């Protein structure tokens, strides 16, 4: 177990190193941030001073080495645009995105698993077919369009919910979050639904497929042959087995929800990391881009680790020690 985690962490360091190298080269190839950051009518001297201040007067390898040196000290550089530490900028936005992602993921689990279970147990029923047809819509309608339609319907026509922004946060046990105030929740609902729709469809289809596959297996029939009630056969024998693929996929999807949040955050003016990264890319604000990606990579690594551990808990046949990291 410990060996497993250490091996994972070493791999992560490697991933971060490769990723930062790519981002440095990538941003360099796209263009020179100086052109965007410094006004057209600045003097030559002002220009040179600005370039020196941003550290852009050095060669790319030199810049990269300097970055690595600071990285070891925990310093990810200062934003070209805001003049604030890049990591701090990203982390400030981190809770907003996590709120959205957790809320969306919860929705897709608590809606998707029961619906998928139903559709898997009664595939021929009208409700079962309706669920599957519905999930195709969730899959195929473009995310941004779904978002706009949600705004049209619930914010503009019905005026039930606000169209965008994050609202006032509440405080509970010293934690500040949208979950703890009605205004916060009302701002959270639409973007969370928007983000959840695709994932819900995915969870429905995955659950249904796993149920269809499991339900015909001998051990389920044997459980019934013991005289168990359907609730126990489904709730324990089937569910515990389909949890194995579900946890894996949901875990991995959680990472992609955070990445997908970019579109939703833009549509709903949600002040999260996604919006920050879009703005930063437009302005070639390299330190922020790098900081964002490092945070995301760390997040993915943590999620994968948690998934692997859960996997080993759920499936007694898996042992972490034997697993190739």
Contact residues: other proteins, CB under 8 A: 216-229, 232, 236-237, 240-241, 244, 314-317
Q: Which of residues 91 and 236 has its CB atom nearest to other proteins in the complex? A: 236
Crossing angle of helices 143-150 and 182-215, in 10° steps, is: 130
Write the CB contacts of 271 (distance below 8 Å, at least 6 apart in sequence). Answer: 93, 96, 165, 166, 265
Residues 83/178, Cβ–Cβ less than 8 Å: no
Q: Shortest distance, CB of residue 116 to other proteins, whole angstroms?
A: 19
Q: Shortest distance, CB of residue 129 to other proteins, whole angstroms?
A: 16
Q: Partners of 170 in the beta sheet?
A: 177
Count how many residues are written for the chain. 325
Q: Which of residues 137 and 219 has its CB atom nearest to other proteins in the complex? A: 219
Q: What is the C-alpha separation between 34 and 46, in angstroms, rounded?
A: 11
Per-residue exposure over 27-42, b if at least 16 CB sit within 10 Å of its own CB, e if not: bbeeeebbeebbeeee
Q: Which of residues 163 and 309 has its CB atom nearest to other proteins in the complex? A: 309
Residues 233/222, Cβ–Cβ less than 8 Å: no
Question: What is the torsional sign of CA 28, 31, 35, 38?
Answer: negative
Q: Which of residues 183 and 315 has its CB atom nearest to other proteins in the complex? A: 315
Q: Which of residues 203 and 223 has its CB atom nearest to other proteins in the complex? A: 223
Q: Shortest distance, CB of residue 283 to other proteins, whole angstroms?
A: 51
Q: Which of residues 36 and 236 has its CB atom nearest to other proteins in the complex? A: 236
Q: Shortest distance, CB of residue 213 to other proteins, whole angstroms?
A: 13
Q: Measured between alpha carbons, how far is residue 128 from residues 27, 131, 135 in Å?
A: 49, 5, 11
Q: Shortest distance, CB of residue 127 to other proteins, whole angstroms?
A: 16
Q: Shortest distance, CB of residue 251 to other proteins, whole angstroms?
A: 18
């Amino acid at each position: 177990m410990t060996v497993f985690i250490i091996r994972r962490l070493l791999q992560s360091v490697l991933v971060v190193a490769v990723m930062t190298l790519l981002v440095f080269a990538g941003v360099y190839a796209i263009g020179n941030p100086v052109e965007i950051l410094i006004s057209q009518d600045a003097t030559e001297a002002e220009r040179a001073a600005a370039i020196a201040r941003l550290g852009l007067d050095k060669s790319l390898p030199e810049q990269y080495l300097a970055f690595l040196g600071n990285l070891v000290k925990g310093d990810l550089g200062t934003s070209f645009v805001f003049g604030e530490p890049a990591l701090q900028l990203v982390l400030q936005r981190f809770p907003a995105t996590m709120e959205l992602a957790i809320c969306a993921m919860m929705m897709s689990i608590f809606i998707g698993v029961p619906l998928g279970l139903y559709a898997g147990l009664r595939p021929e029923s009208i409700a079962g077919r309706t669920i599957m047809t519905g999930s195709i819509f969730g899959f195929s309608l473009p995310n941004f369009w779904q978002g706009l339609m949600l705004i049209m319907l619930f914010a503009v026509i019905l005026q039930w919910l606000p169209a965008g922004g994050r609202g006032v946060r509440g405080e509970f046990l010293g934690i500040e979050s949208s979950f703890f105030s009605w205004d916060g929740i009302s701002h959270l609902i639409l973007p969370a639904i928007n983000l959840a729709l695709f994932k819900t469809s995915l969870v429905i289809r995955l659950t249904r497929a796993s149920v269809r596959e499991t339900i015909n297996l001998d051990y389920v029939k044997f459980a019934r042959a013991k005289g168990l009630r359907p609730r126990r056969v489904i709730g324990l024998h089937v569910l515990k087995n389909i949890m194995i693929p579900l946890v894996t996929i949901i875990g991995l999807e959680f990472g992609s929800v955070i990445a997908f949040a970019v579109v939703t955050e833009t549509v709903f003016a949600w002040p999260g990391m996604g919006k920050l990264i879009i703005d930063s890319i437009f302005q070639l604000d390299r330190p922020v881009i790098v900081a964002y990606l490092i945070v995301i990579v760390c997040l993915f690594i943590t999620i994968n680790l948690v998934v692997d551990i859960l996997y080993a808990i759920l499936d007694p046949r898996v042992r972490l020690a034997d697993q190739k990291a």
